[in-house]
Chains A and B, each alone.
With several copies, the nearest count.
Chain A
Amino acid sequence: ANRSTQQQENYCRLRELRIDLVSMGYIIFPEWYHANNCVGPCRSPLSTRIPDYYSHTLFLLRMHEQGFPLQRAPCCVPVKYSQSVILTFTNDQGLKVKRYPDMVAEACGCR
């Protein structure tokens, strides 16, 4: 049971990541935010470990396991995002508020 937990811990999943936005230069608010990131290896079996199941990924992993070299192996990435509001400078030192999609990673998957 302990070993299985350890394996799950080390599988593709959402981890905390705080991104500093002030250093971007043109962003005023928020100064930073919890963007999070998807981290961890992608390997078989997919279905029992991850809610997002892609047939394409499954077949890529099988090819890989059968010894065929893949130009790009499956990768742990965000499959669901949420949006956020950002206050930035405009080009002429004015202020602008805008809602940006795909700001925060909410769920991960192997693709």
Chain B
Amino acid sequence: MRVGFQAKNRSCVSYGSSALTEGMEHLRGLILEDGQNGTVQCPHNQCCFGIWNLIEGQLRAQLKGCWISEKEATCDSPTCETQSSEDTFTLSCRCRADLCNDNITHERKRQADSLRSS
């Protein structure tokens, strides 16, 4: 299938940090380097991704950008939700909507939100 003029790019929130210690070359053009915050444009079939550390209830972004979505490893979710149900230090998501990787939804956040609204 040829990608026509109608095919919009995907916009992802991007954040590059020193956490990525190896293989930067594979993400060239897909994340902004050296701690920059911003937006990157990638082909419309790519996923956005994000990785955060959860330290004392606070999310600290490690890496955000476009993910190399190969045919054999696509993403399905339009929103950024953690896949892991365990109490992990690192949270991550891949999602397929513009700027979907700004923040991540996770269990403890959801619990806190529902407590607040009740």
Contacts and interface: CB of A to CB of B under 8 A. Distances in A.
Contact of B27 (A30, A32, A97, A103): A97
Interface in A60-111: 82, 84-85, 87, 89-90, 93-99, 103-104
A contact patch SS: strand
Contacts of B72: 33-36, 82, 84, 103-104
Interface stretch (B6-14, B37-45, B62-70, B103-111): B62-70
A98 B51 contact: no
B21 A94 contact: yes
B36 interface: no
Given A22-B83, A34-B73, A85-B70, A29 B49 contact: yes
Interface in B19-51: 19-24, 26-27, 49, 51
Contacts of A93: 89-90
User: Which of A35, A95, A99 gathers the greatest number of chain B CB atoms within 10 Å?
Assistant: A95
A30 B75 CA distance: 8
A90 B84 contact: no
B contact patch SS: mixed
A95 B73 contact: no
B92 interface: yes
A71 B23 CA distance: 34
B83 A95 contact: no
Contacts of A97: 20, 22-24, 26-27
Contacts of B62: 95
Interface of B: 19-24, 26-27, 49, 51, 62-63, 67-68, 70-73, 75, 83-84, 89-90, 92, 94
Interface of A: 22, 28-36, 82, 84-85, 87, 89-90, 93-99, 103-104
